[in-house]
């Protein structure tokens, strides 16, 4: 019998040295004994089109796409699934049998799968407060809307950006002034930070959590540090919290399954592998 074909995937970003994805996928490749590899691909913004063409030429099974390429890559794929188009960004490319490249967005899936698995959170019928109005916020809001959330309160430092984002969803997304970000927490079932605040090297998110109901789940897209000042403050108040690393782990599941043919498990061993030192250091 001939050996199975060697399968190749990777992650395109700029810079790419700090990406945890090679450790993440590397752990699964070893665990499932897969004949394949997943490599970091440093792709400058002006070389993205060439790099995508290169994936085809090199026979990659597909690739992840990260900052700053998530929006631009949509136009370079042969087709995008409707979810990726609605979010306006793709994080996963899949090469089909006929050689065409299909763009997907698995961030929305990863966001919800993390909350479901870590805290049994179901979005149906819920009211959610979202901080931030960038690309991450768009994926989070699409995920929540599709899963049946009934009301989203959205606050962003630059109010106009929140308004443009809210426009796509109608009255269920209500824009709240950034100065009112604390008051909007009254009665919400979930608080999500999608801003860069709290990330290593960035200032902390300043928000008074006093109006937050005590059972309200708090989560952060930021996962470096794992416990952001927001999550620490929520924990001190007695609120349940879910860190952002789980979203990274869960968003990787559909890509791995599509490229390598095994649906992988998110567990403590994977978390440990991803939290270890970056490969090559």
Q: How far apart are CA 229 and CA 47, in angstroms?
A: 37
Question: Nearest distance from residue 156's CB to ligand ATR, in Å?
Answer: 5
The site string for ligand ATR over 181-200 (x = CB under 6 A, - otherwise) reads -------------xxxx---
Q: How far apart are CA 243 and CA 94, in angstroms?
A: 28
Does 207 sit near ligand ATR (CB under 6 A)? no
Per CB under 6 A, which region of 39-47, 93-101, 151-159, 271-279 contacts ligand ATR? Answer: 151-159
Of the residues 20, 27, 69, 70, only one is catalytic, namely: 70
Q: How far apart are CA 7 and CA 62, in angstroms?
A: 9
Which residue sits closest to ligand ATR, CB atoms considered? 134
For ligand ATR, which is the closer residue by CB, 32 or 178?
178
Of residues 113 through 132, those in contact with ligand ATR by CB under 6 A are 132
For ligand ATR, which is the closer residue by CB, 86 or 157?
157
Does 31 sit near ligand ATR (CB under 6 A)? no
Which is nearest to 221 in space by CA: 74, 69, 71, 115? 115
70 is catalytic: yes
Does 164 sit near ligand ATR (CB under 6 A)? no
Choose which of 36, 54, 88, 134 interacts with ligand ATR (CB under 6 A). Answer: 134
Question: Nearest distance from residue 140's CB to ligand ATR, in Å?
Answer: 9
Q: What is the 3-state secondary structure (H, E, C) of 40-63?
A: EEECCHHHHHHHHHHHHHHCCCEE
Choose which of 151, 157, 169, 182 interacts with ligand ATR (CB under 6 A). Answer: 157
Instruction: Name the phi and psi angles at 121, rounded to 5.
Output: -80, 130
CB atoms closer than 10 angstroms to residue 216: 21
Does 133 sit near ligand ATR (CB under 6 A)? yes
Does 240 sit near ligand ATR (CB under 6 A)? no
Number of chain residues interacting with ligand ATR (CB under 6 A): 15
The partner residues of 13 in beta bridges, in order of sequence, read 42
Residue 108 backbone class (left: φ over 0; alpha: ψ -120 to 50; beta: rest): alpha
Question: Nearest distance from residue 17's CB to ligand ATR, in Å?
Answer: 18
Please spell the DSSP secondary structure of 84-135, one letter per residue.
HHHHT--SEEEE-TTS-EEEE--HHHHHHHHHHHHH----TT-EEEEE--SH
- Binding residues (CB under 6 A) for ligand ATR: these are 132-137, 156-158, 161, 194-197, 203
| Active-site residue list | 70
């Amino acid at each position: 019998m001939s050996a199975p074909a060697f399968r190749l995937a990777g992650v395109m970003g700029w810079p790419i040295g700090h990406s945890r994805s090679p450790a993440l996928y590397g752990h699964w490749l070893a665990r499932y004994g897969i004949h394949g590899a997943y490599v970091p691909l440093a792709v400058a913004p002006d070389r993205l089109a060439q790099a995508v063409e290169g994936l085809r030429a090199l026979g990659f099974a597909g690739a992840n796409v990260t900052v700053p390429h998530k929006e631009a890559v949509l136009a370079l794929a042969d087709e995008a699934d409707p979810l990726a188009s609605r979010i306006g960004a793709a994080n996963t490319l899949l090469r089909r049998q006929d050689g065409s490249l299909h763009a997907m967005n698995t961030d929305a899936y990863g966001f919800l799968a993390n909350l479901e698995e870590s805290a049994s959170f179901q979005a149906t019928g819920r009211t959610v407060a979202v901080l931030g109005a960038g690309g991450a916020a768009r994926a989070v809001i699409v995920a929540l809307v599709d899963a049946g959330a009934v009301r989203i309160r959205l606050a962003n430092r630059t109010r106009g950006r929140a308004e443009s984002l809210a426009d796509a969803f109608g009255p269920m997304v209500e824009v709240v002034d950034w100065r009112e970000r604390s008051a909007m927490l009254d009665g919400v079932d979930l608080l999500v930070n999608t801003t860069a605040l709290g990330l290593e090297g960035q200032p902390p998110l300043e928000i008074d959590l006093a109006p937050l109901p005590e059972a309200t789940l708090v989560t952060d897209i930021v996962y470096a540090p794992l416990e952001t000042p927001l999550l620490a403050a929520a924990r001190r108040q007695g609120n349940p919290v879910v860190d952002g690393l789980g979203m990274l782990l869960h968003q990787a599941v559909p890509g791995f399954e599509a490229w390598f043919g095994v649906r992988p498990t998110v567990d403590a061993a994977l978390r440990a592998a991803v939290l270890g030192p970056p490969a090559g250091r």
